[in-house]
Amino acid sequence: MGRRVPIWLDCDPGHDDAFAILLAAYHPGIQLLGISTIFGNAPLDAAVAINSKTTWNATSILTAIGKPNIPVYAGAPNALIRPPLVPPTDIHGETGIDGTDLLPRPLTPANTSVSAVDAIAAAIIRTEPNTAWIVATGALTNVASLFRAHPELASHMKGVSLMGGAIGGKFTGAIMGKVGNVERMGNWTQFAEFNILVDPEAADEIFQNPVLKGKTTMIPLDVTHLVLATQEVQGMLLFGRSSDGAAAWAGASQWTRAESEGEKREIKGKTKLRTMLVELLTFFAKTYTDVFGITEGPPLHDPLAVAAVLTGTEWEIPFFDSTSSGGKERYDVHVNTVGTHEEARAGAETGRTVPTLMPEGQEGTRIPRGLDIEMFWQVIEDCLERADEVNSKNGGF
């Protein structure tokens, strides 16, 4: 078996972040060095960082999946230079991860001995050169702050894999959704994706870093909206792989439809963890139906940025980024930093990611156009099975 890929996960849990944490913690090809939290889907109050919503959510998820000892550090509560943006409660709820009563009280609190930036730096520098990744599934404030404080880490690392941005122009065949009958490429404004918009200056620093340019992977909404947690997927996650899977999936479908119509129908999955995760997906599905008109199932954004670091390993989940001639598509990505958040909501292109295709053979940001979706879901189920085994053995969640 090959050497595991060391990663640091920077996130803002977040319904889909729960699956990113699950994948990072239980994939046999990944070594999860630690987790830092960032403002975004819920607030991160610097004064009470250990109990802030995003940080509490991260430590709770780790407890639920049987990995409470993975270290968590609270990161930035605000953007580099911009005022805070109101969290997207219409998507993730007041807590950032509404939809279930099963999230446990964390067994291990966040580590407050050092700052998140210093913790990331210490973990990365201990890895062998050209092996470690930072996976960012929220605003890029912590990541930009890291390279401001420790610029030498850019050359030491393998790369940065981030979930953020949107391309548009039918970059993929994904369903992007509508708000007010207006087609959009972004999810927070017509043009901008939330993670980039909340701190566009931080995002632009990463994309334009001359050392990181050739080893950054961007997973935009155009790709994440290909990976929908359909009724069938929810059934597999709820009941696992089984010979009576079709009946189980039908039951899950009925439950999900009832939830979308506002009726609370209780159902028990194979394990408490599975029930919790599908309850989160059900809440996420309803918000995507209500806000964006996407009824096929919610997109599972964040774990795709984790999956992308496996490229080139024996555990690779294929992502598609090849040209017709067999080369690799690479991009020079700029972020529009002109305008305020308020102006963006009024129609400005603040936070828009603008990619320019590089001549073949030149380095740039990797932006795949798709992936092996079936394999991805099977890998998620594999990780869930491992979490169930750990919880069963340890008498945990």
For residues 279 and 272, the answer to whether their CB atoms sit within 8 Å is no
- Closest CA relative to residue 276, chosen from 27, 116, 109, 102: 102
Tokens representing 190? 């017509």
Cα 100 to Cα 286, 298, 392, distances in angstroms? 13, 16, 21
Residues with catalytic roles? 301
3-state secondary structure the chain: CCCCEEEEEEECCCHHHHHHHHHHHHCCCEEEEEEEECCCCCCCCHHHHHHCHHHHHHHHHHHHCCCCCCCEEECCCCCCCCCCCCCCHHHHCCCCCCCCCCCCCCCCCCCCCCCHHHHHHHHHHCCCCCCCEEEECCCCHHHHHHHHHCCCHHHHCCEEEEECCCCCCCCCCCCCCEECCEECCCCCCCCCCHHHHCCHHHHHHHHCCCCCHHHEEEECHHHHCCCECCHHHHHHHHHCCCCCHHHHHHHHHHHHHHHHCCCCCCCCCCCHHHHHHHHHHHHHHHHHHHHHCCCCCCECCCHHHHHHHHCCCCCCCCEECECCCCCECCEEEEECCCCCHHHHHCCCCCCCEEEEECCCCCCCEECCCEECHHHHHHHHHHHHHHHHHHHHHHCCC
